[in-house]
Amino acid sequence: MKACIALPLLFVAVTAMSACEPQPIPLPEIWDTWPETPEAPQPLLGTVWKLHDLPGNGEHTAVTVSPESHVGFIILEADGQHLTGYAGCQPMTALYRQQGTTLNVEGLVRTGSRCHKDSMDDIGDRFATALSTATGFRMATHDALLHVLEGDTVTATLIYRTPPKGHW
């Protein structure tokens, strides 16, 4: 007798479930403007780079910086806006924007004392200028080298550094 009651109840349940059409979920209006393609990768976001070399030009000779030196480095903060670091002996801050291979550094400010060695000040000045005039960047195929560009000209080469745990 129990089998006779259970079968009609099962039929009613299956019929009721199949009669329900799935309803689309309404999306907020902001989704109407959501990009249909993924955003371009931002390989500089939240990275630390140490000055490796400055190329020569008509005014200056080429300089390769010792790996132990802290004469120049930058931290491109993960907020995608703030740059901090050192140029020569001076701390520096700026705002940066990266979109694709375009890089702009704006409002670069250096504070504190200059170095006791003119050569360190020269490197710091050249590094700050390379950043301030940047229009783009190019990464080496292994992503460990970053070439700062002004137009098509490399103005500085930096090497990737893994930040110490708990810092930056």
Beta bridge partners of 135: none
Q: Tell me the CATH number at 125.
A: 2.40.128.270
pLDDT for the residue numbered 53: 96
Can you give the residue range of the structural domain that contains 82? 47-161
In a domain, 7, yes or no: no
Q: In this predicted model, what pLDDT tens digit does every residue of 95-123 receive, in sequence order?
A: 999 988 999 999 999 999 999 999 999 99
Check residues 91 and 11 and name the one with the higher pLDDT.
91
In a domain, 103, yes or no: yes
In a domain, 51, yes or no: yes
Q: Nearest-CA neighbor of 154 among 11, 56, 20, 24?
A: 56
- The answer on pLDDT for 165 being more than 60 is yes
Total structural domains within the chain: 1
In a domain, 61, yes or no: yes
Q: For residues 54 and 155, is the Cβ–Cβ distance under 8 A? A: yes
pLDDT for the residue numbered 31: 47
Q: In this predicted model, what pLDDT tens digit does every residue of 132-152 receive, in sequence order?
A: 999 999 998 776 899 999 999
- Residues contacting residue 60 through CB under 8 Å, at least 6 positions apart: 54, 122, 126
In a domain, 30, yes or no: no
In a domain, 94, yes or no: yes
In a domain, 27, yes or no: no
pLDDT for the residue numbered 51: 96
